[in-house]
Structures are given as structure tokens and as C-alpha cells.
Structure 1
Amino acid sequence: MLGVRTKYTRSDWYNAMRLDPGNDNVLSTRDDTVHSRLRSQMAGGYSGKEVVDLELKIDESILRLMSMIDAYASQDKRFDFGLKAQYFTLDVISDLAFGKPFGDLATDSDVYDYIHSTEQSMPNIVVAAVLPSLLHVLSWPLLRRLLPSEDDANGFGRLIRMAKEIAGERFGPSKKTRQDMLGSFVAHGLTQKEASLAGSDTTATAIRATLLHLITNPRVLATLRAEIERFRPSWPVIKEAEARQMAYLQAVIKEGLRIFPPVVGQMSKEVPKGGDTFKGVHLPEGTRIGYGAWGIFRRGDVWGQDADDFRPDRWLTADAESLRSMEATLELVFGHGKWKCLGRNVAMMELQKIFVELLRRFDLVLCDPTRPWKSLNYGIFLQSEYWVRAYKLPVGASGQDTSEKSEVAPSAVAAAG
């Protein structure tokens, strides 16, 4: 169903993924030819291969986040890590896409009201995905006013306007040329409208959920900290190449993605003309078949009878055959075949770095372990009220003093105050 040459097609579930009403993007289009073309044109940008200083840009956002948390720790103030993780991922993707971050970390705020808009919009998007006929109703002139508009002062509408304005600078006689994601899209022939709509991110959930499982599992946390201490990574931010050599870190990242997959929406596909047969069961053409992430990543025959447990060690102790099965199944987190997530490389680079830098600088403690967060499932997760306190560690795992003043940005200190 998810293979490169599959005859299955996207169902009308995907119509609800249009960020700009009436205009398809690489996530929403159901036309296989258009989808393949867009993927080909966007692959170099999304993968990061055509973005100059990709790793450096991610490192800069990592340091801004560390500075922000340092400021809260210095003042013994609690903070909502759910929000801070989203600030980080939004700044990363905007910096890579447009050549400059939104500024959420620098201001310690949701600059474009993106998070608030998402919280308001997701319930409607889910209903529209399950009942696509409602999208036709929303196209009526009177109800269309309820949808995001480029004239909006905040939220999705403002983001759409901003993205189009930036994209507009890359076209025409006085066009600007930059080696960022948008520059890659333009170089590969995307139109201004298509380029305006390119960009998305769901990495914040993986960061939040994995960190929650880490700080509530003392043995796992101690084991990872010991590996960081033993490995002594580069300072002030670990290099991706170093992180990939840390076996327990890799196990933690994989287990975090497994135990709490960031995307669990149906993403249903339609059975092709003539129907299909799966394990002796006939599937009539046009049948919608969805993706059950929560069940897939808790199958005892794949993960063991302790599949409900957060146990990174399973990735280090499994036999070769079981490990192959686990690795192949985990790839479904990012989709498969022609539906595979274009942003996988960037997301994984963020995950390779963020946990090392948090854990060698701070002890992070939940303010209320009985109610760690508010997590709402809309196919993607909206997570907030993730209240923690940070306590600075006197010396990082690399031997550096984590209180180095040069690392703490004055703007972050002021924002935290």
C-alpha cells in the first residue's frame, strides 16, 4: 500500500491538509503525477542537502533554547517545555526555509501566533478529514470567512501572507538568491504559489514525548548521562556525526519515536481499481484503509511482550532478525515509499542534538508528576501545560562550565524575566 510503485492513491482524507484553502500542497495533493513532481523538486531542500550551513543553523537554535532555559533556571522559575520545544522547532524550520528564524526563541513568544492558531484549527481539520464533504460547505462565500485569510493579523493567515511575501522576493527581475530551502525550491522550478506553501514541522512532539519518558525513568536517564560523560562530545553543541556513534542515544531516540509516534492520523489510502486481496481478504476498490500507528508500535510479535514499556535497551539486545524487523517497522513513523516524509533528515538531526545538550546542562524536573502535561490527539499532538523546573549542572559532560556567560543571550534573559 505504501510502496514506491503502489497503485493505491490518497483518499479524500488529504483534502483537509490544505493550509491555503483551495490550493493543494505536497501533503494534500491527490494527483500522483503532481505529488511526484513536487517531491522531486522539494527533496533537495527538505533533506537539507542544498541548504548552506544546515547543521550550524540548527546549532544556533539549540543554543538559543539553552540560553532561554538557563535564564529560567537562574531565576528558579518554572516554564512550559511544551511551548519551548515548539518555539525551537518553528525557529529551526523557518531559518532553514526562509534564511531567518521566526524569532520565537529570541522573544520567548509565539511571534506569529502559530501555536494558538493550530490549537484553534486542529479540531476542525480533523472533522474535515473524516467528513471531507464538509470542505465543500466551507467553500461557500459566507463560511469561507471562517477560514485563514492573508488579511488576518495573526495565525495561519499571517503565516501564509509572510511566506508568500518571502517567496515573492525570490521571483521577478530583482529576485534574491539564497541557499536555503526556498532557494532550493525555486532553483528546481517550483512556481511562486507552490514555493509559498512549502514548509511544515512536527518534531516538537518527538522532543516532548521522548524527554518526558527520559526524566520519568531514572535508570534510562542515568544510562544516557553516563554515555554522554564517557563520550565527551564537542562543545557547545554535539556534532551529528558524533551523536550517531552513541549507541544508547540512538536507542533512546528510536524508542521515543516508537512509544509515542508523533503522527497518528489516518492518512488513509484508497484501494485501486479492481480491488485487492490481503491475506485472503478481498478489499473492494475505493475502500479507505487508514494507518494505525498506536497499534503498530505496540505489537508484541514485533517489539516483545513489554511493548508498552519505554525500554531503549530492546534496540541493543535484540537478535539480528528481530532488529531488522524493528528497524523496518519504525520507518513507518516517517511514512514509506513515495509517501515518505521529506523532512526526515532535518528532524533526525534535531533529535540527535537536543537531548544531549539538555541533559549535560540541566536537571529537568516535572512540577507535577501526576499531571505531566496536557496532550490532545488530533492526528498530530497539541501538547502544553508541560511544566518543568531546570537546575543547572555545574560542569557539562565535556568538562566545560555550563554557566559560560558568552552562551547566554541577553535577549533570552530579559524575555524570561
Structure 2
Amino acid sequence: MLLGRSFQVIGIPWPDLNDGLFYNDVVKPPDSGKSLIHFYSCKYKSSAPLEGWLQRIKNEQITIDGEVITDPETILRIGSELVYRRLPWKEPDTPFSLEILYEDDEMIALNKPSGLQVLPGGVFQQRTVLTQLQWWSSDQSFSISEELHPVPVHRLGRGTSGILLCAKTKLARTQFAAYFADGTSSVIRNSTSEEGTKRKISKIYRALVTGIIHDDEVSVDQPIGRMQYPGVAQGLYVATPSGKPACSKVNVLERDEQGEHTLVQVEIQSGRPHQIRIHLSSIGHPLLGDPLYVAGGQPNCLHSEVVNQSFAEDGGYERPMKPVPGDCGYYLHAHQLILYHPKTNEKGFLVLLKVVKIVAPLPPILRTRSEAEDFHN
């Protein structure tokens, strides 16, 4: 097992406003002859309603070939370059500090706090783990000869805390991509046999669920797929027979009969988005505090109106009024990660396999009673 530095904290406080965004388009033959407002309101109708795009045009946020255009009826010509500038905005309050649990020349593992998004998306364009990694690596590059470009190689939900694995090199990115493509499993052995090396990564989570799970072990193999859901442009992941295969192994750690809660450990043998939240809710035990998924692995308030059709100050839609995947409040923690180190030799073959085990300290609410006593002692 490799040993690395731990508990170093990185992170820079967020500026009040982000830098805004620029979206570029080149007019293609099918769009030649269309009006500016027709192009944006039809192609990007999920970004803003018609009135919102009119506001953006009149607010001088769109240029054609470098010239600001305020007439929404301007006719587009093939090959013209369009740029829409989204004005800077204040993103929601978000943690910024990250613990380094493990680091070497190839990889870095961070302890992500709940509430921090991993990659840019939606209202979170700057306040993400990726931004903090970029800021940190730019400082580190002054003291080393090779510039660093660490990037997350998987995602954790915004409300999920714990281990986030990041690659520093192209080699590590390639190896980790292969690991995750192959799936995850609890079986990692110190062996070079085909069976022992088939799976090269294991992810173990802690979660607190509603209700009492009576069986000590439960295997969940509910397929996960997407459905249309207002406020989620790419569709919402849910339990559905037509989805992709997914497997989770749930072990009960402690039952709270009085509070009607169960503390569980979950090993995932696939990596579908929101898998643990969906699987536990599909067996009738949603995560405690989960605002989105309810029993059956379906979203809360599915048949209710979930989008405010008025538009916000920047012309875009107001935030959905009902739960969306990025909402926090549930208790899920990526507790342990066990993997083969990605380092290879000059010929490209794996060297003598080294197993790295990384552990993220547990939040108090996800500790068993004995773990809590040990911590305080």
C-alpha cells in the first residue's frame, strides 16, 4: 500500500461575482436567412424564453462578427460568427476548502465537502472543485518544471461528500478511465492473475437512510435510465426497467429503531449517476433528507409543475421550484477508495501492482456508536 500526504487543506475564497461566460456559434447553411431572435430562441430555448432572448439582444450581449447587434430581426448569413456573453453573476454560497487525502506524481485524492459541485454546470460555473484545482495547480507550477493539469476522473453529487479522485497526468487519466469503464468492485487482490486484476477499483460509501432495513445484506440490481423532467435539460436519472444495468451491495451497520433510521455501507459495482440515491429509494429506503428521490427510485412531485416560466434578471428561466439533482440535504459520503496505482513502466505494462487505499474521515452523523466513542476517546 502506498502512503501519501494527507490533511493538507487547499482552497481560495470565491470572488463575489464570477467572470461570466461566452458562447460561440458559427452560422451553418440551415440557419442562413433566419433572424437573430429566431436562431437563439429556437436553438437555445432551454436557456431562456423568447422574451429573455429579446432582453439579451437589446442588452448588447450578442455580437455578429465582432459587432454588437441590438436588432433582433437581423438576418444571419452563412459563416458569420455569433457570440453571446452571459453577464457575471453571484453563484449560490458554496464551500471552497478541500482536504488532500492522498497525493503523488500521478494522482491526487480530495475530500469534497457537501454542497460543492465537481464540474461546471447550471448556476455553478466558477464555484466548483475543478476551479479550485486549476487555481491550486497554477500556484504549484511555479515551483516545478512541468505544469500541472489535475482533473477529476469521476463525479460526486453536489450533496455527496468524501473522496474525489483526480488525475495529474495523461497516463493516469487514461488508466482511471479504463478502471471506471470496467466497473467497480469490492474484489481487489494482491495478485497478478486474470481474476485478481479484472477489477482495479473499489468504492465504498456510507449513507443514512429512512426506515429500518431488516436484512443485514441487500443486493440491488435495479436498472437506471433517464426520463424527461422539467428543469433538468438532459433528463433525470431514475429507476426504470429500460435503463442500464446497475448493481449495489448494501450492508447494514447500525439500526436506530427509535429514530427509524438505518446506517448502511454501500459498495457500488457500477457507476450510474445518483446510483446510491436511486437504489436505496427503489427498495423503499430513500436517503434521509433527500429532497428529490422517494420510495420507488422516482422523483418527488413528479406530476407537479416544477418550472417557473417567468425569466430571471439575466433573461434565463428562474430556478425550478421543485427539487433537482443538485439539491443537498441528504447524508451520503464516499468513505473508502481502493485501487491499483496507474504508474506504468517504459514499455507501457503495469509495474508490480501497488494497491492504494484512501479513507475520508466520516462526518459525525455517519459514524456508528462505537466509532463515535473511539473518536472521542
Task: Determine if the TM-score, normalized by the shorter chain, exceeds 0.5.
Answer: no
Q: Determine which structure has greater relative contact order: mean sequence separation of CA pairs < 8 Å that are 6+ residues apart, divided by chain length.
A: 1
Report the structure number with the largest CA radius of gyration.
Answer: 2
Between structures 1 and 2, the one with greater strand share: 2
Between structures 1 and 2, the one with greater helix share: 1
TM range (shorter): under 0.3
